[in-house]
């Protein structure tokens, strides 16, 4: 079983739609959780950290369910510029900064 | 946010040659730097973790004699792919962290695309 699993997509949505991505992780000792965005042939960029209480940043909302080892990302009012691959990232249980990346979910927002 | 640079951004080389990739933290001191590799349509895979002034820690399956890492200062780490072969063609990305805590942010460089002919 992969340490971090994501649906690869692609998710094809029209502008203005709401779209949700899910991610599961296998290591129950993981402590930190993130969503990164990666554009084609570019480096990943931090979108947001994910906290147990859930957190929101503009049109983006992230949720964490530790019991189910499940992370979600909700994007409201999708923009064309949201088209990218969204990476679910979890830190390993070493207590240090070792990050484990999912393979990503590709989002395509069309006019 | 903090800036991490990588050089070169792209390199094409012949099989058997060695390639050095530099990773620099431009506006902060990086206690730790990480080297990742990403093959097409796959996730980033951590290759090694390097701490300034000490030997790098390699992930399982990564040959330390093939991928030489040097972290001589708090702002520079280098990855040398020795005797590169076509299967080493990949996107190599470094990241730098300023702290030791689990929650400290890592800042990613723009990546180096290596093509070995």
Using one digit for the tens of pLDDT, what is the confidence trace for B1-13?
678 999 999 999 9
* Of the candidates B96, B90, B95, the residue with the CA atom closest to the CA atom of residue B11: B90
Which residues does chain A have within 8 Å of residue B102's beta carbon, measured at their own beta carbons? 31-32, 91, 95-97
Q: What is the CA B103 to chain-centroid distance, rounded?
A: 21
* Of the candidates B100, B89, B109, the residue with the CA atom closest to the CA atom of residue B22: B109
Q: Where does the pLDDT of residue A93 fall: very low under 50, low under 70, confident under 90, or very high at 90 and above?
A: low
Instruction: Judge: A41–B113 Cβ closer than 8 Å, yes or no.
Output: yes
More confidently predicted of A92 and B60: B60
**What tokens were used for B60?**
């399982």
The answer to whether the CB of A109 falls within 8 A of the CB of A82 is yes
Burial class (CB in 10 A: 0-12, 13-18, 19+), B4: buried
| Triad B1, A23, A104: Cα angle to 5° | 60
Instruction: Judge: A96–B41 Cβ closer than 8 Å, yes or no.
Output: no
Which residues of B fall below an 8 Å CB-CB distance to A? 32, 34, 36, 41-46, 49, 91, 93, 97, 100-106, 108-111, 113
- A2-14: average pLDDT: 93
More confidently predicted of B115 and A32: B115
**What tokens were used for A92?**
């390993």
Q: Where does the pLDDT of residue A95 fall: very low under 50, low under 70, confident under 90, or very high at 90 and above?
A: low
Which residues of A fall below an 8 Å CB-CB distance to B? 4, 31-32, 41-46, 49, 87, 91, 95-104
């Amino acid at each position: 079983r992969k340490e971090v699993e994501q649906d690869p997509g692609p998710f094809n949505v029209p502008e203005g739609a709401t779209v949700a991505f899910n991610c599961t992780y296998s290591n129950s000792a993981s402590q930190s959780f993130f969503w990164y965005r990666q554009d084609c042939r570019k480096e990943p960029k931090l979108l947001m950290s994910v906290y147990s209480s859930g957190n929101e940043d503009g049109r983006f909302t992230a949720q964490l369910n530790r019991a189910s080892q499940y992370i979600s990302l909700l994007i409201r009012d999708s923009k064309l510029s949201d088209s990218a691959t969204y990476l679910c990232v979890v830190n390993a249980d070493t207590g240090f900064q070792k990050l484990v990346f999912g393979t990503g979910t590709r989002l395509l927002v069309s006019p | 946010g903090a800036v991490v640079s990588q050089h070169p951004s792209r390199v094409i080389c012949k099989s058997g040659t060695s390639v050095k990739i530099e990773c620099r933290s431009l506006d902060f001191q990086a206690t730790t730097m990480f080297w990742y590799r990403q093959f097409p349509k796959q996730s980033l895979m951590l290759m090694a973790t390097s701490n300034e002034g000490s030997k790098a820690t390699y992930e399982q399956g990564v040959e330390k004699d093939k991928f030489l890492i040097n972290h001589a200062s708090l702002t520079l780490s280098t990855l040398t792919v020795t005797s590169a072969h076509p299967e080493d063609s990949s996107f190599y990305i470094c990241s730098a962290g300023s702290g030791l805590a689990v929650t400290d942010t890592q800042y990613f460089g723009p990546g180096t695309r290596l093509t070995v002919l």
